[in-house]
Amino acid sequence: MSILFNQVILSDYAKEILNDCINTGHFQADGKYTDKVIRFFHTHLSIEKIVLTTSCSHALEAALWLKNIKQQEEVIMPSFNFPSAPNAVLLHRGLVKFCDISLDTLCPDENDMLNRITPLTKAIIPLNYGGISCDLDLLVNAQSDNREWIIIEDSAQCVFSQYKNRYLGTIGDMGCFSFHGTKNIQSGEGGALILNHPDIPLEKAQNMVQKGTNRHQFIQGQTSFYTWVDVGSSYTPSDLLMALLYSQLLEYPEKLMIREQAFNRYQENLSPYIGYKGFIAMTKIPKYNISNHHLFYIRLDNQSTRNQLMKQLKDRNIDSRFHFMPLHQSPMGQRLGYRLDDFPNSRIASETLLRLPLHNHIQPHEVDYVSESIIDILKEL
């Protein structure tokens, strides 16, 4: 048996929708399916202000541009991260300030994040990790009314997850989603920017992603021609990709059920073995979250046990993975002046975490095979 880490299989329905889009002959942005995706987010997630982008990385770049980050202004985010958020800051010549994570959630340690705020801080970017979040109210409550610094949720992995009955990505002043091929809902590449900040109008974001033009208003019939009105770039996704995304959104309840069942099965199979042979922890969902079950990980007591386990799983054709390399330890993080021993929890998480196969098509017997293999291998280590 060979167990894939991620698998994408398009349903006949998804192919029908794609074919319909092909038949429209409209492949650029702002077609029928772009509109349907936006309406879906309005109706099902009560998101009023959203623009679709070509990636979460672009959504983060647009968010920092809308906040008007200037040279030397600071943005705080966890080091246990994907490079998109710090890249977005550096592209605006801002200063990247890392913080550490909590080992319970692998999300930012709220106090460490807040303690790093200075008068130069313009934004904090909590990463909602693998379907869950930190205790976001602690961050929101620390904001002053005049919002000297804003919260941009990096919710790349958390579409449809909730915090205290509100969708992740909609709680901070802005939120960013990813629809990359590795995510629960995907269009190969894609993303979205959600706006909640009272002073950032939707129109400004729409112009930004449309090369700084008011083309969106033109398409909506609100102006008779379109022209260059602001600074911007080309961040709008093709309607073909939005057709693919729309089919995934409609099919999501079924996909979520498969993920949730697999997640619960891993938990049931493996929880009796916590404390056994260096297996010390696994994904925990905080009480305040409802997870989209984006991922399931276990943690081992050291890097060597993790690496041996990963290798032996591979020998059994089971694809498990680890991530993230803490960004302060990366070549770029070193160029930014960080020390290797900064942010100890980020290093520990990176060295000891093992992600197990979990995707929209995984079968219960596959989850059982992975779980049994882990226990078998640990017995022999």
Ligand X SMILES: Cc1ncc(COP(=O)(O)O)c(C=O)c1O
d(CA 277, CA 375): 9
Q: Shortest Cβ distance from residue 247 to ligand X (Å)?
A: 18
202-209 vs 56-66: helix axis angle to the nearest 10?
130
Figure out which of the listed residues 49, 92, 97, 180 binds ligand X, where binding follows CB under 6 A.
180
What six digits make up the tokens of 304?
């060597």
H-type helices in the chain, by residue range?
A: 12-24, 32-45, 56-66, 84-91, 110-115, 136-142, 202-209, 215-219, 239-250, 252-270, 303-315, 331-335, 344-352, 364-380
Please tell me what DSSP assigns to residue 164: T
Q: Is 64 in the site for ligand X (CB under 6 A)?
A: no
Figure out which of the listed residues 34, 105, 133, 178 binds ligand X, where binding follows CB under 6 A.
178
56 vs 310 by CB, closer to ligand X? 56
Distances (CA, A) of 238 to 68, 141, 192, 241: 27, 38, 13, 5
Contacting range for ligand X; rule: CB under 6 A; set: 49-57, 226-234, 237-245, 275-283:
49-57
Among residue numbers 66 through 105, which ones bind ligand X (CB under 6 A)?
82, 84
63 vs 114 by CB, closer to ligand X? 63
Q: Is 31 in the site for ligand X (CB under 6 A)?
A: no
74 vs 154 by CB, closer to ligand X? 154
Contacting range for ligand X; rule: CB under 6 A; set: 54-62, 90-98, 109-117, 196-204:
54-62
State CA 370 to chain mean position distance: 25
127 vs 194 by CB, closer to ligand X? 127
Q: Is 55 in the site for ligand X (CB under 6 A)?
A: yes
Compute how many other C-beta atoms are within 10 angstroms of the C-beta atom of residue 223. Answer: 14
CA angle 364, 370, 375 (to 5 degrees): 125
d(CA 36, CA 186): 15
What six digits make up the tokens of 250?
């409609």
Q: Is 161 in the site for ligand X (CB under 6 A)?
A: no
Among residue numbers 136 through 155, which ones bind ligand X (CB under 6 A)?
154
57 vs 289 by CB, closer to ligand X? 57
Q: Shortest Cβ distance from residue 129 to ligand X (Å)?
A: 7
Q: Shortest Cβ distance from residue 108 to ligand X (Å)?
A: 12
Q: Is 248 in the site for ligand X (CB under 6 A)?
A: no
Figure out which of the listed residues 79, 105, 133, 157 binds ligand X, where binding follows CB under 6 A.
157
The residues of the shown chain that bind ligand X, judged by CB under 6 A, are 55-57, 82, 84, 127, 154, 156-157, 178, 180, 191
